[in-house]
């Protein structure tokens, strides 16, 4: 196995939360001496349709049940990635894939695994399960990925500036964000007071009422 991860996707197109979880996944896998190739991330409607055609109107095996035109792939919503093992002889080694899935599902990462699906088991697929295991909820709530993307960023509204914090090895490090600054929104808690945000690559929490 190669001793480094090989990330072949444009991470800036992922949901900021997925991107953060990918950082956690790569870190945790590295600790166990497992190195990944990240093969797929965000997909456009056209890319998804081309994939859907495989095994149907184009040669090859069927690899997806998700059509591009109805936004039914999690990849089109930026909340999924696909991985392989960074070892040309063990690319999709069952044991290693299982180990990665276990790490991905652990508390340190918090992703769900396509290998747990009942129909069209998809072992390279990892996704955020907040909206369930399909895109039905996302479609109902947001309609299209374009509208969903609007929730990935927000402006900070509080004239005196804000204090965020970041938990680094249990020491709390504080940093400020100016009024009107834009931040990436990983998620807003629906029941608690906070939102998890990213600013200049730093992850922190802030009061969600100051986000517009
Ligand atoms: Zn996938």
CATH of the domain at 190: 2.30.30
pLDDT-derived band of residue 170, with 50, 70 and 90 as boundaries?
A: low
Q: What is the CATH number of the domain that holds 17?
A: 3.30.1380.10
pLDDT of residue 119: 83
Mean pLDDT for the chain overall: 94
pLDDT of residue 65: 87
Same domain, 33 and 119: yes
pLDDT tens readout for residues 76-100: 999 999 999 999 999 999 999 999 9
CA 126 to ligand 1 centroid distance, Å: 7
Same domain, 112 and 184: no
Picking from 129, 147, 165, the residue at the C-terminal end of a domain is: 147
Same domain, 138 and 161: no
Picking from 121, 147, 173, the residue at the C-terminal end of a domain is: 147
**Residues in Cβ contact with 176 at an 8 Å cutoff, skipping those fewer than 6 apart:** 161, 162, 163, 164
Picking from 147, 164, 193, the residue at the C-terminal end of a domain is: 147
Same domain, 115 and 198: no
pLDDT of residue 166: 81
CA 44 to ligand 1 centroid distance, Å: 13
Mean pLDDT of 173-185: 89
**Residues in Cβ contact with 209 at an 8 Å cutoff, skipping those fewer than 6 apart:** 193
Structural domain including 49 reads 6-147
Same domain, 31 and 113: yes
Cα separation, 66 vs 127, whole angstroms: 15
CA 113 to ligand 1 centroid distance, Å: 9
Does 104 map to a domain? yes
pLDDT of residue 173: 81
Same domain, 112 and 197: no
CA 75 to ligand 1 centroid distance, Å: 6
pLDDT of residue 171: 73
Does 1 map to a domain? no
pLDDT of residue 116: 97
CA 42 to ligand 1 centroid distance, Å: 9
Same domain, 123 and 73: yes
| Length of the chain in terms of residues written | 212
- Give the chain's domain count: 2
Closest CA to 78 of 13, 134, 155, 4: 13
Mean pLDDT of 119-143: 95
CA 190 to ligand 1 centroid distance, Å: 27
CA 50 to ligand 1 centroid distance, Å: 14
Same domain, 117 and 193: no
CA 57 to ligand 1 centroid distance, Å: 20
Same domain, 122 and 173: no
pLDDT tens readout for residues 32-74: 999 999 999 999 999 999 999 999 999 999 988 888 999 999 9
pLDDT-derived band of residue 169, with 50, 70 and 90 as boundaries?
A: low
């Amino acid at each position: 196995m190669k001793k480094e991860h090989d990330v072949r996707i444009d991470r800036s197109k992922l949901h900021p939360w997925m991107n953060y979880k990918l950082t956690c996944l790569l870190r945790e896998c590295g600790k166990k001496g497992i190195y990944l190739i990240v093969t797929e991330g965000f997909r456009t409607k056209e890319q998804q349709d081309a994939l859907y055609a495989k095994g149907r109107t184009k040669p090859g095996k069927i690899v997806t049940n998700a059509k591009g035109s109805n936004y039914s792939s999690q990849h089109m919503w930026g909340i999924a990635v696909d991985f392989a093992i960074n070892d040309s002889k063990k690319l999709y080694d069952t044991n290693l894939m299982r180990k990665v899935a276990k790490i991905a599902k652990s508390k340190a990462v918090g992703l769900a695994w396509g290998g747990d699906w009942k129909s069209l088991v998809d072992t390279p697929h990892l996704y955020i399960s907040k909206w369930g295991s399909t895109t039905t909820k996302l479609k109902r709530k947001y309609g299209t990925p374009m509208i969903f993307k609007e929730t990935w960023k927000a402006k900070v509204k509080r004239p005196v500036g804000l204090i965020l914090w970041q938990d680094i090895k249990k020491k709390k490090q504080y940093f400020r964000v100016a009024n009107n600054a834009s931040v990436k929104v990983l998620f807003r808690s629906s029941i608690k007071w906070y939102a998890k945000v990213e600013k200049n690559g730093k992850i922190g929490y802030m009061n969600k009422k100051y986000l517009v």
